[in-house]
C-alpha cells in the first residue's frame, strides 16, 4: 500500500518535494473493521489551510503521516456485518491506496448506480453541498436575482452556476481561461462570463455584465473579485464567503478591500460559512442533486490525474487553475 505524507508545511505555493510517497504494509481487519481500497480521491483548496501551522476551524495536518481528505473506495475485506466485499463507500481516507477503518468512519455511497462513483466527491459530494448551502442558507437566493460567482468553472462554482440557473437567476461567472469560459456559456447556460485574466478592471467588467447590480456574490476568490462585487452589490445584497483561494499561498497579510463601507450604504450582508457545520443536511442536498442530475440540469467536468503519485501535482494544480470542474485523482479501477 502507499500513502502520501506531508514532509514540511509549505512556504507560499506548495511544491512537489513538500510531499513524499511512502510504502506501508496492508493490514488485516480486526473485528469491527473494514479494509478499503480507494478508487478515487479528492484534492481541495481547503487542504492548503491544513498545511499551515495556525489555529483554524480544523487542525493542521500532522507531518510525516498520511494526509486526509474525501475518498471513494471499495471494501476488500470486512469484519463488520454492515459491509460486504465489493461495497462502494466514502471516507476521509484520501491520499492513500488502502485504509483500515471502523464502521463509524465509513459511509455507504448513496444508492444511485447510474451515477459514476466519483461524482460523490464533486457535484454530489462536499463541493456540491458547499454550493447548495452557500446559495440556500447563506445567500438565501431568490428566483430572478442576479448572482455573481467567482472560480465559476471549478467544483463548487460550476454547481453554484447550475443551481442558480435552475432557479431562473441571471448568472455571471468569472474564470481564468477561454476554454472554461466557453464551457460555462455553452454547456452550463451561464448568462455572462468574465475572464479575469483578460481584464485589468474587473469592476468595470462586472458593471458591464450587470448594469443593474448584483443581488448575490458567491465568493470563492477574494482580493479584486471581492472589491468588484462590493462595487456592484445591490441594496439588501448578500455575499456568501465560501473561500478566498487567491490568498491561500500568500506569505504575508494582504490589504483588505478598500470599499467595505459599501456593506453599509447598500445594507448588504456578508457571511462566511463552513460546509461541515451543515452536514446533517447532506441527505436533503444529495436527493435534490441526484434528481437534478437525472433531469439533465446538473452536469459536470472532471480533471483527472492518474495514480497516487500524482496527488501532490493535482493538489498544486488547483492554485493555477489546471482543473475544469472537479480536480480528482484516480487510484484504481
Residues lying near ligand NDP in the complex (CB under 6 A): 44-46, 127, 130, 151, 153-157, 175-177, 180, 220-221, 242-246, 273-275, 318-319, 321, 323, 327
Q: How far is the CB of 59 from ligand NDP (least distance, A)?
A: 16
Least separation in angstroms between CB 123 and ligand NDP: 10
Q: Which is nearer to ligand NDP, 105 or 273 (CB)?
A: 273
CA distance 295 to 298: 8
Provide the minimum distance between the beta carbon of 198 and ligand NDP in the complex, in angstroms, as a whole number: 12
CA distance 255 to 283: 39
**Strand 269-272 relative to strand 302-306, pairing:** unpaired
For residues 221 and 331, which CB has a smaller minimum distance to ligand NDP in the complex?
221
Q: Residue 296 burial by CB count (10 A; 0-12/13-18/19+): exposed, middle or buried?
A: exposed
- Taking the least distance from each CB to ligand NDP, the nearer of 235 and 247 is 247
Q: How far apart are the first and last CA of the chain?
A: 15
If the CB atoms of residues 82 and 187 are measured against ligand NDP, the closer one turns out to be: 187
| CA torsion through residues 256, 194, 197, 45, sign | positive
Q: Which helix (H) or strand (E) holds 230?
A: helix 224-232
Q: How far is the CB of 103 from ligand NDP (least distance, A)?
A: 26
DSSP letter string over 219-278? Answer: ESS-THHHHHHHHHEEEEEEEEE---GGGTT-SS-----TTTTHHHHTT-EEEE--GGGG
> Is the Cβ of residue 101 or residue 151 nearer to ligand NDP in the bound state?
151
Contact yes or no for 215/232 (Cβ under 8 A): no
CB of 309 vs ligand NDP, minimal distance in Å: 21
Distance, in Å, from the CA atom of 242 to the CA atom of 239, rounded to the nearest integer, reads 9
* Closest-approach residue to ligand NDP (CB): 154
**Closest approach of Cβ 87 to ligand NDP, in Å?**
26
* Closer of 4 and 221 to ligand NDP (Cβ): 221
Q: Where are the beta strands (DSSP E) in 31-135?
A: 33-42, 71-78, 88-91, 98-102, 107-108
DSSP-derived secondary structure letter, 264 = H
**In angstroms, what is the minimal distance from the CB of 283 to ligand NDP?**
18
Residue among 14 and 176 whose Cβ is closer to ligand NDP: 176
Amino acid at each position: 500500500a502507499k500513502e502520501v505524507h506531508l514532509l514540511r508545511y509549505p512556504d507560499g505555493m506548495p511544491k512537489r518535494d513538500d510531499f513524499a510517497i511512502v510504502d506501508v504494509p496492508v493490514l488485516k481487519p480486526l473485528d469491527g473493521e473494514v479494509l478499503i481500497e480507494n478508487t478515487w480521491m479528492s484534492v481541495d483548496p481547503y487542504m492548503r489551510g491544513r498545511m499551515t501551522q495556525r489555529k483554524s476551524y480544523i487542525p493542521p495536518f500532522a507531518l510525516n503521516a498520511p494526509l486526509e481528505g474525501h475518498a471513494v473506495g471499495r471494501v476488500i475485506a470486512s469484519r463488520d456485518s454492515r459491509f460486504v466485499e465489493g461495497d462502494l463507500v466514502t471516507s476521509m481516507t484520501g491520499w492513500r491506496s488502502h485504509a483500515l477503518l471502523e464502521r463509524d468512519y465509513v459511509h455507504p455511497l448513496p444508492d444511485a448506480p447510474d451515477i459514476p462513483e466519483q461524482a460523490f466527491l464533486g457535484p454530489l459530494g462536499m463541493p456540491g453541498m458547499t454550493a447548495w448551502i452557500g446559495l440556500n442558507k447563506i445567500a438565501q437566493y431568490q428566483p430572478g436575482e442576479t448572482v455573481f460567482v467567482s472560480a465559476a468553472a471549478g467544483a463548487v462554482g460550476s454547481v453554484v452556476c447550475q443551481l442558480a440557473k435552475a432557479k431562473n437567476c441571471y448568472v455571471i461567472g468569472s474564470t481564468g481561461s477561454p476554454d472554461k469560459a466557453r464551457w460555462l456559456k455553452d454547456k452550463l447556460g451561464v448568462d455572462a462570463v468574465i475572464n479575469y485574466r483578460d481584464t485589468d478592471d474587473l469592476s468595470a467588467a462586472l458593471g458591464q455584465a450587470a448594469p443593474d447590480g448584483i443581488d448575490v456574490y458567491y465568493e470563492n476568490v477574494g482580493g479584486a473579485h471581492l472589491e468588484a462585487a462590493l462595487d456592484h452589490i445591490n441594496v439588501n445584497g448578500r455575499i456568501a464567503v465560501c473561500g478566498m483561494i487567491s490568498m491561500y499561498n500568500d506569505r504575508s497579510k494582504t490589504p483588505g478591500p478598500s470599499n467595505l463601507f459599501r456593506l453599509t450604504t447598500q445594507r448588504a450582508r456578508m457571511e462566511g460559512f463552513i460546509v461541515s457545520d451543515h452536514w446533517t443536511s447532506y441527505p436533503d442536498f444529495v436527493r435534490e442533486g441526484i434528481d437534478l442530475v437525472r433531469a439533465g440540469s446538473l452536469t459536470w467536468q472532471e480533471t483527472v490525474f492518474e495514480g497516487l503519485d500524482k496527488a501532490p501535482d493535482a493538489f498544486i494544480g488547483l492554485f493555477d487553475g489546471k482543473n475544469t470542474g472537479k480536480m480528482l485523482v484516480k487510484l484504481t479501477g
